[in-house]
């Protein structure tokens, strides 16, 4: 026990100062929007009268994951991206509710506050699950849907209708999260090891140390009760583009077939030699089909 306590003390990782994080990772002081009582970090770029696209990041990520795509799309579209509550520079949710239904409600309220009646929606991993839930339950708000390695189908440790058992070792990240340990856990998301630069690893690490972020992420995991996605996916009327790295080690590429079978109007962009984060690892390879899909009339 003494050795364990000493180890925890040596590895103890306190929260970072929020103001310092904002100076490093927030583009402008105006990039704050209070939605349903929660302060969100939102970046809204591109022509205000252009078609809108909403970008939703995955677990433990932030709006920065979309940077290469956002810069390009902003030339012709209004690009809205946010840090989900308890991620990046967004505050933990004021209600403590991190369910998908709460996330959908926040996104709809954000679009309302920005006076955006309809938008195309892009979601990655966990954000993909939130994106297709939004498209299935509020089809009147979604023009097109883009799912980047989306989460949603059952997998080992994540059964339908069952609260996941978050291991105690993972819950320890509230107290200890050295950068080397986080980097070791990020590495499997990339095929090209060079894509996980020190700058990128530092950003992930810094933002996971935002005040309350780690507790919020654990709460989100504990509240992520999966439902059978097929009935919801079959309700989606929006044209859908799937983008998936064929060497994805976190959500296998084989899951793409589950989506194409369930979705009425879908197409797949398969990226050979790419892992779970194509928007970071090989952003240029999917950019052309993504841009063409969002700007097409289908």
- How many beta carbons lie within 10 A of that of residue 113, not counting itself? 14
- With a CB cutoff of 8 Å and minimum separation 6, the contacts of 2 are none
Q: 3-class DSSP state for residue 244?
A: strand
Rounded mean pLDDT of the chain? 94
**Cα-to-chain-centroid distance, residue 280:** 12
Dihedrals φ, ψ of 19, to 5°? -60, -40
Percent of the chain scored above 90 by pLDDT? 88
The structure tokens 């920005």 sit at: 114
Tell me if 151 sits within 8 A of 125, measured CB to CB: yes
pLDDT of residue 168: 79
Quick check: 68 and 134 in contact, CB under 8 A?
A: no
CATH number at residue 209: 3.40.50.1820
pLDDT at 5 over 50: no
Number of domains in the chain: 1
pLDDT in tens, 178-233: 999 999 999 999 999 999 999 999 999 999 999 999 999 999 999 999 999 999 99
Nearest to 287 by CA among 84, 127, 77, 129: 77
Q: What is the pLDDT of residues 12-39, one digit of tens each?
A: 899 999 999 999 999 999 999 999 999 9
* Residue 264 maps to a domain: yes
Query: Per-residue pLDDT tens for 225-271?
Result: 999 999 999 999 999 999 999 999 999 999 999 999 999 999 999 99
Rounded CA gap, 191 and 52, in Å? 32
Residue 210 lies in a domain: yes
Is 5 contained in some domain?
no
For the entire predicted model, the pTM comes to: 0.95
Residue 212 resides in a domain = yes
- Structural domain includes residue 8: no
DSSP 172: G
CA distances from 223 to 42, 77, 187, 231, 274 (A): 24, 34, 26, 21, 30
- For residue 63, the enclosing domain spans 13-293
Tell me, yes or no, whether 59 lies in a domain.
Answer: yes
Residue 67 three-state SS = helix
H or E element, residue 120: strand 119-124
Across the chain, which distance is largest between two alpha carbons, in Å? 65
CA distances from 281 to 30, 79, 207, 286 (A): 30, 21, 19, 11
The DSSP letter of residue 19 is: H
For helices 198-208 and 179-186, what crossing angle results, to 10°?
A: 110
Of how many residues is the chain composed? Answer: 298
Banded pLDDT at 82 (limits 50, 70, 90): very high
Query: Could you tell me which of 103, 123, 68 has the C-alpha nearest to residue 240?
Result: 123
Q: Could you tell me if residue 298 is inside a domain?
A: no
């Amino acid at each position: 026990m003494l050795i364990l306590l000493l180890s925890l003390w040596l590895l103890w990782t306190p929260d970072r100062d929020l103001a310092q994080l904002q100076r490093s990772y927030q583009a402008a002081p105006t990039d704050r929007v209070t939605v349903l009582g929660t302060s969100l970090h939102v970046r809204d770029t591109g022509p205000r009268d252009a078609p809108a696209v909403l970008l939703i990041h995955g677990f433990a990520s932030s709006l920065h994951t979309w940077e290469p795509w956002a810069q390009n799309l902003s030339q012709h579209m209004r690009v809205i991206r946010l840090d989900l509550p308890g991620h990046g520079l967004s505050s933990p949710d004021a209600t403590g509710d991190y369910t998908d239904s709460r996330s959908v409600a926040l996104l709809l309220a954000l679009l309302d506050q920005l006076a955006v009646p309809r938008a195309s929606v892009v979601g990655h991993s966990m954000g993909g699950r939130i994106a297709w839930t939004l498209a299935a339950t509020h089809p009147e708000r979604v023009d097109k849907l883009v799912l980047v390695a989306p989460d949603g189908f059952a997998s080992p440790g994540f059964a339908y209708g069952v609260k996941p058992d978050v291991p105690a070792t993972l819950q320890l990240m509230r107290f200890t999260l050295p950068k080397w340990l986080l980097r070791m856990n990020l590495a499997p998301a990339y095929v090209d090891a060079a894509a996980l630069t020190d700058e990128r690893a530092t950003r992930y690490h810094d933002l996971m140390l935002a005040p309350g972020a780690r507790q919020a992420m654990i709460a989100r995991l504990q509240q992520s009760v999966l439902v059978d996605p097929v009935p919801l996916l079959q309700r989606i009327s929006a044209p859908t583009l799937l983008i998936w790295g064929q060497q994805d080690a976190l959500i296998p590429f084989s899951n793409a077939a589950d989506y194409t079978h369930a979705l009425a109007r879908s197409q797949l962009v398969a990226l050979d030699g790419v892992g779970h984060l194509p928007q970071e690892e090989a952003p240029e390879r999917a950019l052309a089909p993504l841009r063409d899909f969002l700007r097409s009339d289908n």
